[in-house]
Amino acid sequence: MIRLGRYADPQRGPWWAVVGADESVSPLTGSYATTGDLIRDGEADWRAAAQAPGQLQATAVEWLAPITTPCRVMCLGANYRQHAIESGMDPDDREFNLFFDKTDASVTGPADPVVRPAHVRLLDFEIELALVLRREITEPVVVTPENLGEFVFGITIANDLSARDVQLPQGQFLKGKSYRGFCPTGPYIVVPEADELGVLDRLDLRLEVNGELRQSDTTANLLFGPAESLTELSTFCNSSPGDLLLTGTPHGCVATSPPAIVRRLATAILPERKLWAAFVKRQLDKPYLQPGDRVTASIRTADGSVDLGRQDTLITAPTQEVTP
């Protein structure tokens, strides 16, 4: 597998390949303005760079998001068994994916600070394996484990940061999940060969806040895999090279949902506005992200043979308040 990253070097770059066990990096010779351009036109270049001597250490590079914008950022909800349960769902009674999206204004780099908007008090984290899509899709397609490589170029880390006090009370997934910086990506796109895509079923996800483990699971526990998810997605959504599909987050998010029967009873007793006000009030004592918190996220195989790198995200306060 080849790891590719984007780095704003004034003389070289912007695309680099990570080479060798020492994790040095080698520049591609082409410029490739977008991730889509890299996918369409850069294969010979990135394969050559992956075999060339490294010129810098990967740890010395300030990596940018490997996904350029504009792009689509599509997402799967409650797609891990235990997370579906903590979201108030029965994982054995799911016939379809839960799809939603984020705007590409949310895409940021793997080490960029993220501003928590002044009106947001319930900022949550969601580590996710993201698929980097390979080809243009403008009609329904059937994706199988055998032809998955025709549709998936690579994989990367994403953090689906979510303002729960916007997403849930306002019923606005798009708004609550799309504030600027709410989708750290990278540091790398890992590009598997067609016969290596089986690794997507055995990746370990791990997220910590200030060094404390909050999320840990394996892609073996996905309810809907990449092939069936892309098949379903193609029935209602076009895609282009360089678009993202976030495949869901494991259990361990701060926000949880009471059982469906409890929600129905509460709705019958309280007006919706008071119900959500009570929800937010109860949530304020929980460990949502605060300015000064540091979120680290990594995805790798258990033996370390495949490593998507590490994100390090500092949550900051806004310098000025903007009315939402």
Q: How confident is the model at residue 308 (pLDDT cuts 50, 70, 90)?
A: very high
* pLDDT in the model for residue 277: 79
Kindly tell me if the per-residue pLDDT of 291 is higher than 80.
yes
34-38-41-46 Cα dihedral, nearest 10 degrees = 150
DSSP 298-321: EEE-TTSSSEEEEEEEEEE--SS-
Q: What is the pLDDT of residues 171-187, one digit of tens each?
A: 889 999 999 999 999 99
Q: How confident is the model at residue 32 (pLDDT cuts 50, 70, 90)?
A: very high
Q: How confident is the model at residue 264 (pLDDT cuts 50, 70, 90)?
A: low
Residue of 218, 158, 156, 203 whose CA lies nearest to 2: 156
Q: How confident is the model at residue 257 (pLDDT cuts 50, 70, 90)?
A: low
- Cross-strand pairs, 7: 63
* pLDDT in the model for residue 278: 78
* Burial class, 100, CB count within 10 angstroms (exposed 0-12 / middle 13-18 / buried 19+): middle
Q: How confident is the model at residue 321 (pLDDT cuts 50, 70, 90)?
A: low
pLDDT: which is higher, 8 or 46: 46
What mean pLDDT comes out for the span 230-256?
96
Comparing 52-66, 195-209, 304-318, the range with the smallest average pLDDT is 52-66
Could you give the CA distance from residue 29 to residue 48 in angstroms, rounded to a whole number? 9
* pLDDT in the model for residue 26: 93
pLDDT: which is higher, 44 or 93: 44
Q: Are 156 and 130 in contact (CB under 8 A)?
A: yes
Q: How confident is the model at residue 320 (pLDDT cuts 50, 70, 90)?
A: confident
Is the overall model pTM greater than 0.85, yes or no? Answer: yes
What mean pLDDT comes out for the span 216-240?
97
The two structure tokens encoding residue 51: 């075999």
Q: Please provide the average confidence, as pLDDT, over all residues in the chain.
A: 92
* pLDDT in the model for residue 323: 61
pLDDT: which is higher, 317 or 276: 317
Q: By percentage, how much of the chain surpasses pLDDT 90? A: 75
Kindly tell me if the per-residue pLDDT of 261 is higher than 60.
no
Which positions ≥6 away from 260 have C-beta within 8 Å?
88
Q: How confident is the model at residue 43 (pLDDT cuts 50, 70, 90)?
A: very high
What mean pLDDT comes out for the span 247-255?
95
Q: What is the pLDDT of residues 115-141, one digit of tens each?
A: 999 999 999 999 999 999 999 999 999
* pLDDT in the model for residue 324: 67
pLDDT: which is higher, 264 or 73: 73
pLDDT: which is higher, 107 or 271: 107
